[in-house]
Structure 1
């Protein structure tokens, strides 16, 4: 199984979706955005949140590819922004590992 950072790094999405997400990540506020996306009052830590967001995004990407009537590009961008935001939070709170050891 791929680690979270590898899963995020290997996401291949249309350039317009990716650019919109990168543009919006500076305004990401997990208390507002993550709560709305996951529909939960209590928020999980960044790792579990990322796993949930990646699952939600995978469904949205299938809908996009299938031209499903329920697909909403703005919602897809919102989820991609949350993925980028949570990944940034996870990186900033996880010790950097070098050669299998924490410096």
Structure 2
């Protein structure tokens, strides 16, 4: 198992965040959404996207847990939507 798959498998987030993100995956458009979320060129592969998204999500999770006033639920849901969609594409490509 690769490092990215292990990180994804170990993630535990509140059900409400996960459900909101899961509902948003049907609206996810890689080209449009990754550009907005990452604010850089769109990564060439789902693996490259995950490598950029995972640290962003981890930082958001740290902010959520520390009750940081700069934490944004909508941003966290957006990043989780992208993570779920890219993880699905990554795992589909690996099989």
**TM-score, with structure 2 as normaliser:** 0.90
The structure with more radius of gyration: 1
> Structure 1 residue runs of 4+, over 6 Å off?
none
Unaligned runs of 5+ in 1: 97-103
**TM-score, with structure 1 as normaliser:** 0.84
State the partner residue of 2:27: 27
Alignment check: 8 A CA contact 2:34 2:42 kept: no
Which stretch has the larger CA shift, 1-10 or 77-86?
1-10
State the partner residue of 2:58: 58
Kindly report which structure 2 residues correspond to 1:1-103, keeping only aligned pairs within 5 A, or say none. 3-94=3-94, 96=95
After superposition, the Cα gap between the structure-2 partners of 1:42 and 1:17, relative to the gap in structure 1 and judged at 3 Å, is closer
Matched positions, count:
95
User: Which structure has more helix as a fraction of its residues?
Assistant: 2
